[in-house]
Amino acid sequence: MFEFELIHEEGQARVGIFNTYHGKIKTPVFAPVGTQATVKTVTPDQLLDLKASLVLSNTYHLYLRPGDELIASLGGLHKFMHWDKPILTDSGGYQVFSLASTRKVDDDGVTFRSHIDGSTHRFTPEQSIRIQENLGADIIMAFDECADPNNFEYIKTAMDRTHEWAERCLKARKRKDQALFGIIQGGIDPNLRIRSAEFISNLPFEGIAVGGLSVGESKQDMYNILDTLEPHMPRSKPRYLLGVGTPEDLINGIARGIDIFDCVLPTRLARHHAAFSTEGRLNLMNASFASDPQPIDKECQCYTCKNFSRAYIRHLVVAKETLASTLLSIHNLYSLVNLAEQIREMIKSGIFLDNIPNLLNTWGQNSKRKIQVM
């Protein structure tokens, strides 16, 4: 069921197909994030229209509200959110990391307080798997500890704990229709990353995930770690870079052998009136767009750009109409979904590596941080 078919390679970049219970995922792929069983401001039909093939939902948030057992009783996450294509759920590890002031980690698991009502809860590897099995996603994650990448004294402890928890997750799993991915940790220490990659790759996971990046380290550090990891990850399994998804990160990540990406950035930017474009990131609140008849991006074929002007979207923003967030989210999500598909076709044609400088020159303007050209 979970065969990963590697179709073409150009350098380290790969084109593949990952088979899941709810359909095939063509890689490289960008997955919109639906934290609360919804991609913010966008309907499932709109996701289909922009050609999304994989959606991520969040274990921690859905466990707290409305509850994984409720979702299971209503037929699982696919039925609950009316999405019949593949779904990926994270382990809850990153949310635990982000709740540093309200959690306590030990070798068995993590005790934390709910951000909703302050109630106390506990996640263990076994509990994370149980919740994800109730949710019923096609791809689930092993429970891991995501440590501060610059805390060199602690990252080895977190890595060793992640390895132990990975083995416990494998023992705890019961469902055979879910692909379980192990997560590589180790901060920005190349030696620890290699050790983690080799350990996780030798366990019987259906896929390999790279965690603990884009959490405070520099772009250069992230790309260096991906360069370090690539030879140590199995070619026969899909590779997922957790929580990373700017246009230039897709370009650089794919060039370094990554297959799957996700990020909240496209919809978050939309809620703050911002849009990706080949001219750089645009703030649609700016008065310069008040009478601009152009679409957000004249090169874009999304629903928003085919039907609405910058002037109209700015009007919606100024008037505080919720449609502004929907139209901007559609555009931003399409930009990344389509960019991954364009790169997929470039790799198949053998022209991706030569086009990396042009792609980065076009899309790198959408980042506030320095980009890296291979």
Residue 368 has pLDDT above 70, yes or no: no
pLDDT at 228 over 80: yes
Residues 6+ apart with CB under 8 A from 158: 145, 146, 147, 185, 187
107 is catalytic: no
Instruction: State which CATH number among 1.10.287.70, 3.20.20.105, 1.10.1370.30, 3.30.470.10 fits the domain covering 4-264.
Output: 3.20.20.105
pTM to 2 decimal places: 0.96
Strands 110-113 and 103-105, bridge-based pairing: antiparallel
Q: Give the span between the Cα atoms of 359 and 99, in whole angstroms.
A: 36
Q: Tell me the average pLDDT across 52-71.
A: 97
Mean pLDDT value across residues 175-189: 97
The end-to-end CA distance of the chain, in Å, is: 35
Q: Alpha-carbon distance 124 to 130, whole Å?
A: 10
Question: Longest C-alpha distance within the chain, in Å?
Answer: 61
Catalytic, out of 68, 90, 249, 297: 90
Tokens for 179? 């692909």
Measured CA to CA, the distance from residue 262 to residue 243 in angstroms comes to: 5
Percent of the chain whose pLDDT exceeds 70: 98
CA distance 241 to 94: 13
227 among known catalytic residues: no
Per-position b or e across 265-301, b if 16+ CB within 10 A of its CB: bbbebbeebbbbbbeebbebeeeebeebeebbbeebe
Rounded to an integer, the average pLDDT of 88-94 is 92
Range 72-95 average pLDDT: 95
- pLDDT tens digit string along 125-167? 999 999 999 999 999 999 999 988 888 889 999 999 999 999 9
Q: Residue 370 above 60 pLDDT?
A: no
Phi, psi (degrees; rounded to nearest 5) at 46: -65, -35
Question: What pLDDT score was predicted for residue 218?
Answer: 92
Contacts of 190 (CB under 8 A, 6+ apart): 224, 225, 228
**Dist. CA 261–CA 340, nearest whole Å:** 9
Q: Which of 77-81, 111-115, 330-334 has the lowest mean pLDDT?
A: 111-115
Using the predicted structure, report yes or no on whether residue 374 has a pLDDT greater than 50. no
Which pLDDT score, from 0 to 100, does residue 148 have? 87
CA 270/CA 13 separation, integer angstroms: 30
Predicted pLDDT at 98? 78
pLDDT of the residue at 372:
46
Closest CA to 249 of 265, 238, 273: 265
Report pLDDT for 150: 82
Catalytic residue, from 68, 144, 259, 262: name it.
262
pLDDT in tens, 311-360: 999 999 999 999 999 999 999 999 999 999 999 999 999 999 999 999 99
Residue-level pLDDT at 249: 96
- Report CA torsion sign: 25, 237, 209, 28: negative
Rounded (5°) CA angle 151-154-155: 80
Residue identified by tokens 């879910």 is 178
Q: What is the mean pLDDT of the chain?
A: 95
pLDDT of amino acid 369? 46
Q: Can you give the C-alpha Rg of the chain in angstroms?
A: 20
Average pLDDT over every residue of 60-69: 97
Q: What is the mean pLDDT of residues 283-301?
A: 98
Contact (Cβ atoms closer than 8 angstroms) between residue 163 and residue 200 = yes
Check pLDDT > 50 for residue 213: yes
